[in-house]
Amino acid sequence: MSAALTPRPARRVPRWADVEPFLHLRRPAADAVSRRLARAVSVDDVERMARRRVPGAVWDYVHSGSDAEIAMARNREAFERVELRPTVFGAVATPDLTTTMLGRPAASPFVLAPTGYTRLSHHTGECAVAAAAADAGVPYTLSTYATTSIPDLAAAAPGGRNWYQLYLMRDRGVSLAHLEQAREHGYEAVMLTVDTVVTGMKRKDRRNGFAIPPELTPRTLAGLARHPGWVGGILTSEPLRFATFPEGSEHARWGVSNALREQAIRPEDIAWVKERSGLPVVVKGVLTTQDARVAVDAGADAVVLSNHGGRQLDRAPVPLELLPEVVDALGDRTEVYVDSGVRSGGDAAAALAMGARGVLVGRPYLYGLMLGGRRGVDAVLEILRSELERTMCLLGVPDVGSLGPQHVRLRGDS
């Protein structure tokens, strides 16, 4: 047989075992983490340094938005248009950041938003984030697609304000089991997400062949080789999986979630979640005044104006721009929260002045997790808290409740 006709050997598919040689490489020393965190004075600093700590596909999963990323860019553009207006005769040395959310006290008006697959960012994942939130005195929200189970998270932050984010499943028995577990383990609220009946197209994930657990191709192996600390953490901890579902459940399989989620959510589903859980219900993903009214009429205790951080419908409305209209329409009937683009204490002050009860942050704490595990999340929360305190000092505002429309406008608005 000629050499030209000699069959080529089949290419071997890489396995997790192929990265075991990296395990002898040490994770970053504690003092190295401290040095990195000491250089971080803003979320932008944390983001820049975090990008070097994880493989490219992981970074793209966390950082990117859907389709052309127009909604994600517009979220930030809206906050960049904010003008804060100080009261120069109202000097305040130590403003009070405390507030109430869902009738319970919080040390500051931040909520840590639900993020799926959090242990991809750092092997300590949701447990580290929840513990940091508990120490900071703010709520943390566990995702339906978490890589830590409902009871394990509760055990990691027993004194925390733990909320549970629910994706409603077609099989209501699956959702009911989640609600019962959340109530049993002391979660204080359910956040029903209504904007994810199907998953938005994230082009970078598609190009990277992103999956849970990561699919090991020569390209991804090359990326892993440059991040031995991340590899070592993942391989020496519990396997990555969707831990809120029983092992082996079809709901825990990557790539089938769209077909299993409820794709026709109705207002009465809010009442069903509230009745079955016995907990306050926060409806997340509202983007019109009419939907906000419908959610409250159906029993929602709070609504979150959110376009999912620009990860779902591209070109969706910008939550910050919608905020005053919704607050005005709902009055004191419910609490209104906002997310999508919040990256600083100044952003939070603007949203609060425009009527929000609290703000949700997601990517910023994931950047902190990438950079330094639990300590990185602590650092981000302290950056946000100190920025908000400093902004309120400079605005001459004594407490969160005193922030109002007189303190903010969006440049370019009439």
Residue 123 catalytic? no
Residue 248 has, within 13 A of its CA and on its CB side, a CA count of 0
- Alpha carbon 130 to chain centroid distance? 12
CA distance 119 to 319: 28
How large is the angle between the packed helices 363-395 and 345-353, nearest 10 degrees? Answer: 70
Catalytic residue, candidates 122, 123, 178, 308: 308
Residues belonging to the active site = 308
